[in-house]
Amino acid sequence: MEKPFLKLTVLGVACFLTVLASGCGKRGPDAEAVARDDAQRLLLSTDSDENLGLRPGKVAPEIEAELVRLQDPKQAFIGTLFHDRLRRLSDQEQAAVIQRLKLALTDMSVEVRRRASLTLHAMGDNSGVPVMIQDMASEDDSTRGNVAVALRIMKDKRAIPVLMKACEDEHAYVRGIALAALGELGAVNAFETISRHLTDKEGDNSSCMQITPGMMACYALGAIGDRRALPLLITALEDESLQSSACQALGKLTGKKFAYNAKAWKDWWQKQQH
């Protein structure tokens, strides 16, 4: 009977520390961060490895070093290389890493939460998706763009509503990523939203590659596979800035190869109506 009581006590004190910072003690992100760290350390500090499954298991030193790097937003982190190494771990080692990564989902840094979400996804765990959905509310354009990329990679249908909302984002890059993600998710219910952006030609001034939301809308319509897009894409062929994207989408939808020949596409489409 002592162990359950101890566990409940530890959890209660941890929760109290967090609430104290956010409501009763010092205000501000620094105070909350300290309290959250204290709470996390308290949850992991009991001697029992059975402490509600919250105590991180031991991992190899090289994996530990990468986990430390992941949790430092100031350090460069190459996720793909780390993900490959994690897939080769034993089930027990993977479970220990997943435990650590789930704790990282509560970090004060959006970048750390994003890294943890993507690494969990690479290990077959999409528990970071709700965290990334919430982080799309960030006021920072760059952060929203990075989070949208993460949601695109994770391909979880729970993100469709927030991605549809992101299609109206003030930043062209965010809109473009959201449109592409919706296409790759096969979000047929987003067809009208995506179609509206075929005329969205605002470029991303922060990038040397001028990929507009309109181009991404073409791509998304091709990826969804809805033939309602055919006449829209054929019309888009007449816009020089969309020709390549529209042509690729038409090819994916139909298997035809009329290149940029809008007349050939129109003649073919007309025959399909009879």
Average pLDDT over residues 10-29: 45
CB 230 within 8 A of CB 218: no
Helix (H, G, I), strand (E, B) or coil at 202: coil
154 within 8 A of 127, measured Cβ to Cβ: no
User: Which of 19-28, 81-90, 134-143, 206-215 bottoms out in mean pLDDT, i.e. has the lowest?
Assistant: 19-28
Q: Is 32 helix (H, G, I), strand (E, B) or coil?
A: helix
Alpha carbon separation from 21 to 32, 88, 112 (Å, rounded): 5, 40, 21
Name the residue among 129, 135, 196 with its Cα closest to residue 168: 196
Structural contact between residues 44 and 56, judged by C-beta atoms closer than 8 angstroms: yes
Least trusted range by pLDDT, from 15-29, 73-87, 153-167, 201-215: 15-29
The string of pLDDT tens digits covering residues 77-95 is: 888 889 999 988 999 999 9
% of the chain with per-residue pLDDT over 90: 68
Residues 6+ apart with CB under 8 A from 177: 145, 148, 149, 152, 166, 216
Tokens of 132: 């990334």
Model pTM score: 0.77
Distance CA 217, CA 25 (A): 48
* 205-237 pLDDT, tens digit each: 655 557 899 999 999 999 999 999 999 999 999
> What span, in angstroms and rounded, lies between the C-alpha atoms of 101 and 19?
23
Question: Coil, strand or helix: which one is 274?
Answer: coil
Look-up of token digits 């402490």: 51
pLDDT more than 70, % of the chain: 77
Residue 98 pLDDT more than 90?
yes
Comparing 21 with 87, the larger pLDDT belongs to 87
